Structure 1
Amino acid sequence: MKNPPSDKTSTIVISALLGFLVSVGGWILTEIVNSLQAVKGDVVVNKVAIVRNKHRLDTIEKRDVTD
């Protein structure tokens, strides 16, 4: 027995929807991972900036003492 055309159409529609959902889900996961990596990078950059600023402040204080 052959499937009626409506069954083939519904199968195609369901498979297309599933493919679309999988691709959207993959894109969302990629965005989440990228944003987490960006946040981690910002934290490292901020720590480096804090250390540099502390070093600058220390050198400025030393200059003030010698003046």
Structure 2
Amino acid sequence: MQCLLLKFFKISFIRCRIKILHQPFPSILLILLNLSVLSLILGFKNVIIYNSSHRKGFRYA
């Protein structure tokens, strides 16, 4: 609640963000969210590379 009430002040907002990161459950959720977004980006990149190389008949040895 303190973050919501005082989010206009930069100092309290930074302090609230640091508090959240030190708590184990929200920090684990944040790490999982970052990993899932990164895996989606890398997965789409691999699909695009595979499709573009497959259309040209180019094969990796």
Short-chain TM bin: 0.5 to 0.7
Residues 25-64 of structure 1 aligned to structure 2 (within 5 Å) = 26-60=23-57
Q: Give the letter for the 2:23 counterpart.
A: G
The TM-score, its normalising length taken from structure 1, stands at 0.51
What do the CA deviations read for 1:21-53 (whole angstroms, capped 9, x no partner)? x9xx81111000000110000000000000000
Unaligned 5+ segments in structure 1 are 1-21, 62-67
The structure, 1 or 2, with the larger RCO (C-alpha pairs under 8 Å, 6+ apart) is: 2
Distance 2:49 2:56 in 1: 11
| SS across alignment from 1:60 | coil
More helix, by proportion: 1
Larger Rg: 1
Cα RMSD after superposing both structures:
2.5
The percentage of counterpart residues that share the same residue type is 3
Q: Give the 4+ runs in structure 1 shifted more than 2 A.
A: none
